[in-house]
Amino acid sequence: MTALLGDPVDIAVVDYGMGNRRSMEKALEHVGASACVTSDAGRLRAAAGLVVPGVGSFPRAMANLRELRLDELLLERVAGGTPVLGVCLGMQLAFERSSEHGGSEGLGIVAGEVRELRAGSLKRPHIGWNEVRLASAGSELVTGLPERCAFYHVHSFVAVPARSQDVLGVCEYGEQFASVVGKDSFYGVQFHPEKSSAAGLRLLANFARMCAAAPTLSGR
């Protein structure tokens, strides 16, 4: 993993009251980005890229996003081509719906649903390092990573994309599930890159480069 070259790119970590916001901010700074944790609409609209972290309940997370009107802002930024990275629950929120705690509608950026992980005889939640098999075609998000790469997962629910082309990487824990997804300018990872050592930092550095290369606000 190498740091970014040139001026630090501005990446905002979306603060909706849930998730590992500070550790994500520090990890982004470690790879050379200028990061901040904020719920301020102006700062979120001005940033070159957004990261949506998340740990906890899908319905509660969506309620928080809607209360802060950050759901509309995220849809606006993705529609404008801004790179957005969802992490763990932040990835799941991009889907159309979740069955967690009676069900809730999601952002609908990625077609599909979120349901319980079918772990069989294995313990839930799924906690620990597991190998992710990245798509051979790959994407800029996983540039420089081996086709099989271990990342740190913590989750009991999984996203089930409706379209196979949105799946960029899969993991297996009782069943095979999507661990990396991509749709337009949205990318999601079920694991925690900020807890995944060199491979996680490489992924975050790749994301920061994608943000730096994205069109400026004036060009959108």
Residue type, 128: G
Which of the residues 100, 113, 194, 211 is marked catalytic? Answer: 194
Number of other residues whose CB lies within 10 A of the CB of residue 202: 20
Active site residue 25: no
Q: Rounded CA gap, 171 and 173, in Å?
A: 7
State which H helix or E strand residue 41 sits in: helix 41-46
Asked if 43 and 70 touch (Cβ cutoff 8 Å), the reply is: no
Which of the residues 25, 149, 192, 211 is marked catalytic? Answer: 192
Q: Rounded CA gap, 140 and 161, in Å?
A: 20
Active site residue 194: yes
Least Cα distance to 16 among 55, 65, 75 occurs for: 65
Q: Is 60 helix (H, G, I), strand (E, B) or coil?
A: helix
Asked if 59 and 98 touch (Cβ cutoff 8 Å), the reply is: yes
- 85: tokens are 């990275």
Which of the residues 88, 149, 171, 211 is marked catalytic? Answer: 88
Sheet with strand 157-161: strands edge to edge: 104-105, 95-98, 110-116, 157-161
Active site residues: 88, 192, 194
